[in-house]
Structure 1
Amino acid sequence: MFHPQRTLITGGANGLGKEIARSLQRAGSLVTILDRDGASLKRTAEELGVSGIVYDLSNLQDLAREFSKWDTTYGPFDTLINNAAVSNFGTAWEFELKALSELLNINLLAPILLSQAFIKCRSQDKVRSKILMISSVSAFQGFPYASSYGASKSALLNFSEALSEELNEENLKHISVSVVCPSYLDSKLFSGARPLLGTRILKIQALADEIVGHLQGQTFLLIRPRRLAGLICLKNLLPHRLQIFLSRLLGVQRGMKPMKPSKC
């Protein structure tokens, strides 16, 4: 079983990141949270008694260099949790380049660059380490009105699968990768979303506790709610027309529709 000793969590000032930090601290890990919201970061760091770093992950240019500094100051980290994410809701043709660039920088490119920096730091010391990616069930299914968000999460899952195999092939087996794909959470990010048929909005604290358990294990992928895992497997076996029918039956098409007026 893997026991995180020193953990860096991006997007750790609020929502799921904050609750993961709380759960990890209870489990005995020394936690550092990173967020671009300085005021919220300060409040959460004081509330939980953890270290905090103010940084905007859309600034990719300095990210690798900054990680090395953070690893020296607050680490060495044996656990990296790429949790930070932003979303744009609306029809796909409404999104402006600036908003799309920010979303892809934060949701996809920042986790890739942080993972690169983390691996370079941990590849030499041979300490057992782990990278955890927070993706989404939208990695498996396109959700109308959240096309760019889903695209970023699908790409993140694909990258994680390849990265995991590369670490094994390059004899860096002491570094492992795992992914969590949750559905809608009770957070500001999904305010107004409708849960899929037969499911409920996930409670953040319960999910955070489960994520820590997943982090300590050896399983690559965690999908929540649990029943969606079977439906995702079934969907991939069906012809496209039946996939669309199943998606509509589950309410995928209406899940994000209440959030459609949101502008990027």
Structure 2
Amino acid sequence: MRSDFQGRHALVTGGGRGIGRAIASSLKDAGARVTILGRDRAALDRAVSEGGAHRGLTADVTDAASVRAAMSEAAASDGPIDFLIANAGAAVSAPFSRSGEDVFRRMIDVNFMGSVHAAQAALEPMTKRGFGRIVAIASTAGLKGYPYVSAYCASKHAVVGFVRSLALETARTGVTVNAVCPGFAETDLVEESLDRIVSKTGRSREEALSELVRHNPQGRLIRPDEVAGTVLWLCGDAAASVTGQAIAVAGGEI
């Protein structure tokens, strides 16, 4: 499989931590040249210095011009982008009655438009070369509903719909477009969710964790490397006929 990645350039948005960092590290270990994008310069530098990527560039995925400029710089430095992993995301938890327009717009801007901006910057060069892999990191929240995260669910459903549509447009171009949909995973976002549950409900951290993992029939959080392994397969030659899919990595939840 390593030959599938030698001489290829991968770019991972939100690659400085969590699932994005695990994906970047897996792609690098497989032989790809890896650029990570994010807003946190310190996290990007740390990931690069610890061997998780070759290069880190700052960009705000909600700003199309920022994404395009960073991706152009990455391509100029390390060659055209062969693998785009649109991973950057955010989550907000609140009852719908307290989820104003600003909450919905923030979730759409980061989770959905962040994926759109990255794909728009990467797609034309991919189709001209006749090769590319676009993988959006969605969520099981893009395949089902959860209470108290209506804005987040709406944004992730939008990502899955976008992937399925773009895959049909690009089916004859050599570019595949897929989504990976993790359940609750061992990430900073989930740690923050646990903190909120503890502070709002008075439950212990163990009780809060049990509340999250009850959705997973395996009774555990998903490991970032499990998500990375799925992404790696989708980027490899063996998955050339796999496009328009939303693959759940969720212990049987979906």
> TM-score range, shorter-chain basis?
0.7 to 0.9
The answer as to 2:253 corresponding to 1:228 is yes
Aligned residue pair count: 225
AA aligned to 1:202 is I
Query: Contact 1:214–1:222 at 8 Å: present in 2 too?
Result: no
TM-score (norm 2): 0.81
- 1:81-92 to structure 2, matched below 5 A, reads 81-92=85-96
Match in the other structure for 2:177: 177
Match in the other structure for 2:224: 204
The answer as to 2:74 corresponding to 1:55 is no
2-side partners of 1:124 and 1:215: how far apart?
Answer: 18
Alpha-carbon displacement from aligned partner over 1:147-191 (angstroms, at most 9, x marks no partner): 1111111110011001000112xx42x111121111000112112
Describe the SS at the equivalent of 2:129: coil
2-side partners of 1:54 and 1:17: how far apart?
Answer: 14
Shift of 1:213: 2.4
2-side partners of 1:185 and 1:88: how far apart?
Answer: 16
Shift of 1:62: 4.0
Change (3 A) 1:145 1:125: same
* Greater displacement, 65-74 / 101-110: 65-74
Change (3 A) 1:197 1:10: closer
Query: Contact 2:83–2:235 at 8 Å: present in 1 too?
Result: no
Match in the other structure for 2:116: 112
RMSD: 2.0
Match in the other structure for 1:3: 4
Shift of 1:122: 1.9
AA aligned to 2:246 is L
Match in the other structure for 2:98: 94
* Greater displacement, 154-163 / 48-57: 48-57
AA aligned to 2:249 is R
2-side partners of 1:124 and 1:88: how far apart?
Answer: 38
2-side partners of 1:64 and 1:97: how far apart?
Answer: 27
Change (3 A) 1:42 1:144: same
Task: Name stretches of at least 5 consecutive residues in structure 2 with no aligned partner.
Answer: 195-208
Match in the other structure for 1:12: 15
The answer as to 2:142 corresponding to 1:142 is no
Alpha-carbon displacement from aligned partner over 1:51-106 (angstroms, at most 9, x marks no partner): 00011212234433443333222331100000000011111232344443232111
Q: Percent identity at matched positions?
A: 26
Describe the SS at the equivalent of 1:143: coil
